[in-house]
Structure 1
Amino acid sequence: MLGTTFQVTADELKEIFNVRLAPYLPAHLTKAEPNPSGWGNTYTFKPFTGREPKPETPRRYYDDPKLCFRHQDREAGRPEADEAEYDLREKACHFLDQVYDQARSEWRNARYIADLKTVVSNTGDLFKQHGQAKTAVDAAFTYLRDPKAATEWPAAVSRLIDTHSTLMAAAIAFDERARQIAEVHEQHLYEEAPGYDEALKAAGYPQARDWPIASVHDYGRNYHGEYDRYTLSGQAQALIKEQEEHVAKVGRLTGTPTA
């Protein structure tokens, strides 16, 4: 019986992968070779799309005379494998498990990236539109402090309100897409998938590291009708409230009507 570590000769490795495991290896496996460090093997796969069926170890290998347990030899009426033969079977089964473990890991990573590609779409444009809307709000609010604004106060405040509406709409639009991205991340969170930034970069969106994606649980309104502070909608809502209170206070203290 194999221990926790064991040695495999070059001839044994050829026998295992070219003969014993050949009918059961995943189609995406392109190479199996000893690790340069001298410990274990290195397995190379052609890229997964993530849309293939999940790689599963074929159960039919359990009954293969070149891979089965000794008692199966007896039950099938075959001579029972000697120690050397059975060690080779165990090594082969161990390597088959390794191959499928790595295949599933690479497939899960590919599925995560593919799912992100599906939902990301025009997120970059939505983020840009939010930035432009925020810039317009800042400009409109800053103008209210200009003495010239006093000559057209109601109109200046009205323009600020318009920018508020545009900002809120842009924030909500971005957050809806961000929620979809967060849902994909949540679905793959415990699958040993690549990190969020790494996955989005692999999906072709390196700029996504600048996108403020909150937890999927942070999106939507709470029972007070407010958005979470970690979302762009929540930040826009807080800013608008702050500016409205400022404008109202100015009007109250100066007796300046806004309409």
Structure 2
Amino acid sequence: MTRTIPLLHPFDGHSHLPRQPLDETSRLPQDVRAAAAAVAAAAAKPQLSPAADIARYCHPHYLRAEPAAFGTVTFYFRAFTGREPRPEMPREAWDDPALTWEQKRELDSQYTVAESLWSQGRLRIQAAPVMRRAAPLWQAWKTAQAELRETFEAFRHTPDGMWRAQLLRLTDAERSALDAATAWDAVAEELSLLAAEQRREAVEEHELELETVARELGLDASDWVIHWPDDYTPRSYPWPHQTPLVRALTAEIEQQRERLAEVDRLAGTSASTTD
């Protein structure tokens, strides 16, 4: 499969007239005679050597380049697997005095596109095994989260004499949810780092979304919680560092406990009033 990426890079749009003088110019109309004279003058000037061939510096996967709309160029490559060495413009090309600046710019643009395509292939390779590990961990988290919320809601129907038993069930559900959230954040950080690396190596419009990679693997990652890498890095805060999903879960648990404490206070006030 051939992948194409348009990249801003104007082609040389100059046209070239024939370099041989025309015969019998006096018989031609004035404007044609002027054009013929210009051609003859150009032919009389010293000729510059033709531009060097850049083919020897092109990437091995490079196929061709075609002009596109608004002065852009579309580069065509054979598909990258991501297992190839990182595409880098040869140092010899920059140092080659036979190449024009425009040729060097074209080569630089070509290798920029090549690196973007290569980085997409590499992300697919690196992320695939991590995503296959991530899928059951995400499902485990969703199950644990649902059980925690169901256990908390069950207090609405729990008789007063059974609250302590229900509290025990709630703390068990909290621990299970925290374990699941911790496991998910660990694998989510791996995926976040891989995606960040691909973003650095690709031009902005050619970033590859993790959700796209997951879909190609037959996985649904549309609701996966994956933050930027910095969100997983401990900082010098006066409170312990928490990873994103653990932090969100901790806040939910605290809200649940505050609600239970409020009910307990109200129940105690009601009992004392009744007495």
So what's the TM-score if we normalise by structure 2? Answer: 0.66
Q: Which residue identity is paired with 2:137?
A: L
CA distance in 1, matches of 2:190, 2:254: 27
CA distance in 1, matches of 2:206, 2:91: 32
Aligned residue in 2 for 1:136: 147
Runs of 4+ in structure 1 off by over 4 angstroms are 36-41, 61-64, 89-94, 193-197
In the TM superposition, what is the alpha-carbon distance from 1:100 to its structure 2 partner? 2.0
Aligned residue in 1 for 2:257: 244
In the TM superposition, what is the alpha-carbon distance from 1:133 to its structure 2 partner? 0.9
Aligned residue in 2 for 1:42: 74
Structure of larger gyration radius: 2
RMSD of aligned C-alpha atoms? 3.4
Q: Is the 8 A contact 1:136 1:163 kept in 2?
A: yes
Q: 2:191 aligns with which of 166, 181, 184?
A: 181
CA distance in 1, matches of 2:206, 2:101: 35
**TM alignment of 1:49-198, pairs within 5 A:** 49-61=81-93, 68=98, 92-146=103-157, 148-191=158-201, 192=203, 198=209
Q: Find the residue that maps to 1:6 and give its secondary structure.
A: coil
Aligned residue in 1 for 2:240: 225
CA distance in 1, matches of 2:169, 2:91: 69
Q: Is the 8 A contact 1:56 1:100 kept in 2?
A: yes
Q: Is the 8 A contact 1:32 1:41 kept in 2?
A: no
Aligned length: 221
Structure 1 residues without counterparts, runs of 5 or longer: 10-14, 70-88
CA distance in 1, matches of 2:186, 2:70: 50
In the TM superposition, what is the alpha-carbon distance from 1:26 to its structure 2 partner? 1.4
- Using a 3 Å threshold, how does the CA distance of structure 1 residues 131 and 202 change in structure 2: closer, same or farther? closer
In the TM superposition, what is the alpha-carbon distance from 1:168 to its structure 2 partner? 0.9
Aligned residue in 2 for 1:22: 55
Q: Find the residue that maps to 1:208 and give its secondary structure.
A: coil
So what's the TM-score if we normalise by structure 1? Answer: 0.69
In the TM superposition, what is the alpha-carbon distance from 1:169 to its structure 2 partner? 0.8
Q: Deviations over 1:72-115 (max 9, x none)?
A: xxxxxxxxxxxxxxxxx666545433322321222233334433
